[in-house]
Amino acid sequence: MSNQTQDFIAFVKQTFGSQGLIPLHAPNFEGREKELVAKCIESTFVSSVGPEIVEFEKDIARYVGAKHAVAVVNGTQGLQVALRLAGVKSGDEVITQALSFAATCNSIHYLAAHPVFLDVEESTLGLCPAALTRFLEEETLEQDGARYNRKTGRRIAAVVPMHTLGFPAKISLIKQICSRYQVPLVEDAAESLGSFFEGKHTGTFGLFGVFSFNGNKIITTGGGGMIVTDDPELAKAAKHLTTTAKVPHTWEFFHDQLGYNFRMPNLNAALGRAQMERLEGFVQNKRQLASLYQTYAKEHGLHFVKEPKGSLSNYWLNALLLDDLTSRDAFLATTNQAGVMTRPLWTPLNRLPYNQNCQTGPLPVTQNLYERLVNIPSSVRL
């Protein structure tokens, strides 16, 4: 493994044209970012009101093919709001995948609801349709038009698949399953801006989709997220909730319900608009990098993780599948010591201390991927 890893390190440094530290995924600001941010500063509209927010929402809605978009401070809070508007209440249960970033389950906990963790597929890294069907069929029952967990008696209020590393889950099939069992579908599309499944953008299959623009995403607003939906009333409600539920008025401050101060600042949106001008180029650049990795892996006996059949992935984070946990940890240690940043997948969510009491299905694929998968440098190359 040592010689193979050293060869890989040399390849990465040659590919990125650097002998210094090579990050996992660095932002790229070679366009009009400084210009648009400076104009925003000059306008003095730098907080949660301003034209850049509205235009950025239009940019995202147009790109992904959604009718409406609502800009928020980050993807986590966007997912929380989407779940609330999908009908998730305190004491409900939300089905999601165990293989995901903590934000996915945190958004469920913030509503005092309970995550239920199911397995993923190796081919997509996303929620396994068979595991979802099996759980809904065997572990739940129908009552008054809703599904209830046989074991806990709690209502199943939503299903949240995540498009892991930018690879689309089998979202059409997941949507069919949710429709069959009458459970709302909310997509965690945080990592998948620029990814399509069967010609349709991720995040647009469910009642809501939520994207993230954190500093390490394919485009960034520094911090930020976006809720997308085709439902005009839900979009209106999302914007209302995220602006502290303040009733519009020239001078009066009246809030008609408990809302959130989750609106994206205009300053961040200005950065996002400049980044959106370059998104297509970013996706093409990253797909070219994935092709280079794929060729290298094939020639050197490595297993490169390719986009699922029927999808077009943004290849946000490229990945290799190694033999086992021992080889994974040796690879991580050697590459990071050499200044080539790599990382494993997240600790499965069911193993986090605050999720110990959550219901969890069998997770053989999740555990296998956690022990074997490593992410490798995936920045847009200059």
Per-residue H/E/C for the chain: CHHHHHHHHHHHHHHHCCCCCECCCCCCCCCCHHHHHHHHHHHCCCCCCCHHHHHHHHHHHHHHCCCEEEEECCHHHHHHHHHHHCCCCCCCEEEEECCCCHHHHHHHHCCCCEEEEECECCCCCCECHHHHHHHHHHHEEEECCEEEECCCCCEEEEEECECHHHCCCCHHHHHHHHHHCCCCEEEECCCCCCCEECCEECCCCCCEEEEECECCCCCCCECCEEEEECCHHHHHHHHHHHECCECCCCCCCCECCCCCECECCHHHHHHHHHHHCCHHHHHHHHHHHHHHHHHHHHHCCCEECCCCCCEECCCCCEEEECCCHHHHHHHHHHHHHCCECCEECCCCHHHCHHHCCCCECCCHHHHHHHHHEEEECCCCCC
Residue 327 CB-density burial (10 A; 0-12 exposed, 13-18 middle, 19+ buried): middle
Which member of 217, 239, 246, 286 is catalytic? 217
Radius of gyration of the CA atoms of the chain, in A:
21
Known catalytic membership, residue 217: yes
What CA–CA distance (Å, rounded) separates 265 from 140?
A: 42
Amino acid identity of residue 89, one-letter, is K
Residue 124 in contact with residue 194, Cβ under 8 Å? no
Tokens of 135: 């759980």
Residue 55 in contact with residue 274, Cβ under 8 Å? no
Residue 209 in contact with residue 202, Cβ under 8 Å? yes
Catalytic residues: 217
